[in-house]
């Protein structure tokens, strides 16, 4: 039995289908208000729980051989802070997995995660990684862990392509933050779920941290061009100066409950988010999907 935490999210809903196709029994951790319509109606077990509440995880972990931890937030809201979800939540996942005798724990982190990262998202993801690896938590780690650090992930229902689409057709220009030259290495969702499934089936993945991305390093501006071309949108681009972008982000954080962009996200957008382009082929035997080909499957 594989437990997927974060099953109703973008990655989770694709992963659940992939694991079922690969013959795994799947249990999904869901919250009372989670949208269950995104999950298959049969062949999956549901367990209600919240990673911020340790006690709620015990029943979900019962009889589980492997757990895939996908729970994260990109924007803080109320009590859902990076500290609460990424750090304290992961501590709970680790404790519950250890107590239940789970043999494998796979954590989806993010490329750019490192100590002293510029964004709090990455800083707290680093703290989560350390907990998964077994440092900073006194309970000890009887399970075999694996960490995947993807670059931006794209596919049906992803937030990244949606936010690029929202830039098109909004006004006379397509706004590009700053120079738009920071590079990304978009990884197609089907390739990522194939990596996760591969890791669960291979002991050599235990104790490994894999940085994963697609075959191309693309600037944000190039990505916008590709999406605009696919959507047959012809619009001029306007590079928005950095101070103005930060001002907009600050204002949105203060004025909106659901900001379109935060200061933390802007900081991340300004740095390269890239890894070895051959990693999917070399480590998992997967031929990675190009961005242009991948978006044709859902745009």
Which residues bind to ligand NAP, rule: CB under 6 A?
6-12, 29, 31, 34-35, 50-52, 70-72, 85, 89, 108, 110, 150, 152-153, 160
Residue nearer to ligand NAP on the CB measure, 73 or 235: 73
- Could you tell me the smallest distance in angstroms from the CB atom of residue 73 to ligand NAP? 6
Give the nearest residue (CB) to ligand NAP: 9
**Distance (Å, whole) CA 60 – CA 40:** 18
Residue nearer to ligand NAP on the CB measure, 153 or 199: 153
DSSP letter assigned to residue 170: S
Residue nearer to ligand NAP on the CB measure, 19 or 51: 51
- Could you tell me the smallest distance in angstroms from the CB atom of residue 61 to ligand NAP? 13
Residue nearer to ligand NAP on the CB measure, 216 or 239: 216
CA triplet 59, 64, 68: central angle to 5 degrees?
A: 100
Burial 161-190 (b: 16+ CB within 10 A, else e): beebbebeeeeeebbbbbebebbbbbbbbb
- Could you tell me the smallest distance in angstroms from the CB atom of residue 21 to ligand NAP? 18
- Could you tell me the smallest distance in angstroms from the CB atom of residue 213 to ligand NAP? 10
Both tokens assigned to 232 = 């047959």
**Distance (Å, whole) CA 216 – CA 288:** 9
Beta bridge partners of 68: 4, 106
For residue 167, how many C-alpha atoms fall within 13 Å in the half-sphere facing its CB?
A: 25
**Distance (Å, whole) CA 176 – CA 217:** 18
> Taking a C-beta distance cutoff of 8 angstroms, is the pair 254, 95 a contact?
no
- Could you tell me the smallest distance in angstroms from the CB atom of residue 248 to ligand NAP? 22
Residue nearer to ligand NAP on the CB measure, 160 or 250: 160
Residue nearer to ligand NAP on the CB measure, 36 or 251: 36
- Could you tell me the smallest distance in angstroms from the CB atom of residue 289 to ligand NAP? 15
**Distance (Å, whole) CA 70 – CA 4:** 7
- Could you tell me the smallest distance in angstroms from the CB atom of residue 108 to ligand NAP? 4
Both tokens assigned to 136 = 């900073």
Sign of CA dihedral 69, 265, 166, 85: positive
Residue nearer to ligand NAP on the CB measure, 150 or 180: 150
């Amino acid at each position: 039995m594989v437990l997927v935490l974060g099953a109703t999210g973008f990655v989770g809903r694709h992963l659940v289908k992939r694991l079922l196709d690969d013959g795994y029994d799947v249990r999904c951790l869901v919250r009372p208000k989670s949208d269950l319509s995104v999950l298959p109606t049969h062949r999956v077990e549901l367990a209600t729980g919240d990673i911020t509440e340790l006690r709620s995880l015990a029943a979900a972990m019962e009889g589980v051989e492997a757990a895939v931890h996908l729970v994260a937030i990109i924007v803080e809201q109320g009590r859902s802070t990076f500290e609460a979800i990424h750090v304290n939540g992961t501590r709970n996942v680790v404790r519950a997995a250890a107590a239940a005798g789970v043999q494998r724990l796979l954590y989806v982190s993010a490329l750019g995660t490192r100590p002293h990262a510029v964004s709090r998202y990455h800083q707290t993801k680093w703290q989560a990684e350390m907990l998964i690896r077994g440092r900073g938590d006194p309970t000890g780690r009887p399970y075999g862990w694996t960490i995947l650090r993807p670059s931006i992930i794209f596919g049906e229902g992803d937030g990244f392509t949606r936010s690029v689409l929202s830039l098109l057709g909004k006004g006379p220009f397509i706004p590009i933050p700053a120079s738009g030259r920071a590079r990304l290495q978009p990884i197609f969702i089907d390739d990522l779920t194939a990596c996760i499934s591969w890791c669960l089936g291979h002991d050599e993945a235990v104790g490994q941290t894999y940085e994963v991305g697609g075959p191309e390093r693309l600037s944000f501006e190039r990505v916008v061009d590709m999406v605009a071309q696919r959507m047959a949108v012809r619009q001029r681009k306007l590079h928005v100066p950095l101070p103005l972008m930060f001002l907009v982000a600050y204002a949105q954080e203060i004025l909106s409950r659901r900001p379109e962009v935060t200061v933390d996200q802007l900081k991340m957008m300004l740095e390269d988010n890239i890894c070895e382009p051959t990693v999917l082929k070399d480590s998992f035997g997967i031929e990675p999907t190009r961005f242009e080909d991948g978006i044709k499957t859902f745009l």
